[in-house]
Homo-oligomer: A and B are copies of this chain.
């Protein structure tokens, strides 16, 4: 049934997901990462990262061009970011883990933007100090992913505003209200800070070029929902400013622990935060929705449905990078051998172990945080 890796990747989640993601690709006008492109990447990285192998990073713009440039000796830089509106959850880590991988394998710089201005502007109840606090709090999670302290530059839009505002002015001059209305669905009652913000978000695409006085290719690893920023603003403006259009590589979303939907901080019981203590992690996982049957007897006889099960997805996205072992979990569930309670308990152990280690790295990151922060 799912006897080889190729088919194995195509789970109902993936299929269900894939329908949506294919639609997104068409709507956004991005391209699927082909096996040919994966082979080109493999040449440079060695064995493919599981996030590519499993097509969790599945879509791109100009990734082939980035490789052309790289192969002709022109290194790119990485740019990604985070909207610091609260604690980091596991879903946020996926692009950062992949970014760390790219940084290490291609030996490139990373510019990491904390959009604390946007989070403040967007959320009526958020105070500026609060989003700024989360900038520093979340930056520890970013660094805990193992990024190189000498090649990573993190900045808060609020605290790096002198540098960013200047670049944003150059961008904003080419972007009208009509454009941001079409791209982001802004309305007449949108506040003027949010209206300006897309130019702040686009600014880091050109920041290293300005800092170093030369054109440098930019690759943005991010979840696909961020695509409009780059398509509608940065890629549109880049040629007008004499810069390369930023290339992108897009990921899918880690699902939440409930039934369907991506992991979201706004539903805290279905999201695991990196700061959650072990007993909270355990409770959230034990309360998760699964693809299990109504009774143990039914599960034993008919088997579970890993394809719609967030527990399985957690192994798939984060907690079982070994494809063989992942397949074993899948088959054990399908065959009725593995019951949901046991499956959850095993995942809880993995997640708790992961978080103990992550929290240790997070603590260690406190020492280097100041060094990697860009400030005016």
A residues at B contact (CB < 8 Å):
117, 120-121, 128, 158-162, 165-166, 168-170, 172-181, 186-196, 198-199, 376
Contacts and interface: CB of A to CB of B under 8 A. Distances in A.
Contacts of A159: 162
B128 A169 contact: yes
Given A177-B186, A193-B199, 8 more contacts: A121-B169, A162-B165, A172-B191, A172-B196, A173-B191, A176-B190, A177-B188, A178-B189
16 contacts: A121-B172, A128-B170, A158-B166, A162-B165, A168-B193, A169-B193, A175-B192, A176-B189, A176-B191, A176-B192, A177-B177, A192-B195, A192-B196, A192-B198, A192-B199, A193-B196
B193 A177 contact: no
Contact of A192 (B117, B162, B180, B191): B180
A157 to B, nearest CB: 8
B172 A161 contact: no
Copies of this protein in the complex: 2
A120 B180 CA distance: 20
B188 A176 contact: yes
Contacts of A176: 188-192
A195 B192 CA distance: 6
A10 B159 CA distance: 53
A199 B165 CA distance: 13
Given A177-B177, A192-B195, A192-B199, A165 B158 contact: yes
A5 B194 CA distance: 54
